[in-house]
Amino acid sequence: MCENNTEAAKKKVLSCIQPSGMLTLGNYLGALKNWVAMQEEFDCTYAVADLHAITVRQEPAKLRSQIYSTYALLLALGIDPEKHTVFIQSHVPEHSALSWLLSCNTQFGEMARMTQFKDKSAKHPENVNVGLFSYPVLMAADILLYKPDLVPVGHDQKQHLEIARDIAIRFNNKYGDVFTVPEPYIPKIGARVMSLQDPTKKMSKSDDNLNAWVAILDDRDTIIRKFKRAVTDSEAVVRMADEKPGISNLITIYSAVTGKTTQEVEKEFDGKGYGDFKLAVGEAVADTLNPIKERYDEIIKDKKALEQLYKEGANKAERVARKTYFKAMKKVGFVL
């Protein structure tokens, strides 16, 4: 964060993403594209939230690969580790340490009401672990350590930010001013990208049908092939309508990657068939994602340079996190 006579201090923003496999076109258009854009306006802290990934069983080698891959992808997207803080969560031990302190100031009933715990417990009944129950407290620690002014939130994350705010307010009221109570930041509306095979469902990398989702790192031919196979309808008219979820989804995607309005898209493809439209969407998406893949392929090859960047990121993050953590410990009464 910088402050001088010509530039006011930028507000702080924090976002984290789990290394839980291939990130999709939906992740990019819905959130990550905004992460890149926010760098101009805010002082940004971005983390690969690898500690959160182990609330479900992980194969160690695969998890390690995914952490590397997710960090490299953030850089490939255009996030600048020199101007902002980009790090791996587990490399800053204060996240886990503060989580314990906050756990002791969080009520059991608050955690029991978290909707994602219920959802994930239903999906993984064989592994309903304590971490799955209490991970919103770790998420609160992730946020509060860096004293962000704003936290970007989607619909499924509002409850987590609310509990982080509640914990911060309770702690401050009991022990004195320690944490900044962050405000939700609603970024410019990201595209809500639906499955290419079932457009009534959100695009998800966990979908068993590989044609249903596009990975950010898919090659050009794969992207175009998946769009050619996208589910549409029998009307053969390119227009946005509730009764046309498949075509509406493709219009949304095309608009997001080209910057064209819905009306401009409808006009462009007036009188043209679905085949032409699906090919155009696939090519436009490939044109958007392929430069990211090319940068990623270069970054991931140089493990030494990547390691230096994530270590520098962790050092930068820990300098901030340590101050907040020790202030909280001192307020509670620990001997430092």
Helix pair 274-301, 60-77: axis angle to 10 deg: 110
- Which among 10, 12, 118, 120 is annotated as catalytic? 120
Kindly state the DSSP code that residue 210 receives in the 8-state scheme.
G
| Residue 142 CB-half CA count within 13 A | 28
Concerning whether 202 is annotated as a catalytic residue, the answer is: yes
Would you call 205 a catalytic residue per the annotation?
A: yes
Element (H, E) at 44: strand 43-48
Query: Of the listed 11, 202, 330, 331, which one is catalytic?
Result: 202
**Contact indicator for 216, 26 with CB cutoff of 8 Å:** no
Tokens 């994530």, located at residue: 310
> Where do the H-state alpha helices sit in the chain?
25-27, 33-38, 50-53, 60-77, 94-103, 108-112, 115-123, 130-144, 158-175, 220-228, 245-258, 262-268, 274-301, 303-332
Task: Give the integer Cα–Cα distance in Å for 151 and 185.
Answer: 5
Q: Which residues pair with 46 in a beta bridge?
A: 15, 86
State the Cα–Cα distance between residues 91 and 318, nearest whole angstrom: 9
Give the sign of the dihedral formed by CA 1, CA 321, CA 23, CA 12: negative
- Residue type at position 254: Y
The Cα 214–Cα 221 span in angstroms is 11
The secondary structure of residue 202, as a DSSP letter, is: B
Of the residues 10, 205, 228, 331, which is catalytic? 205
Active site residue 228: no
Task: Please state, in angstroms and as integers, the Cα–Cα distance from residue 326 to each residue in 13, 141, 150, 184, following that order.
Answer: 22, 13, 22, 26
Which residues belong to the active site?
120, 202, 205
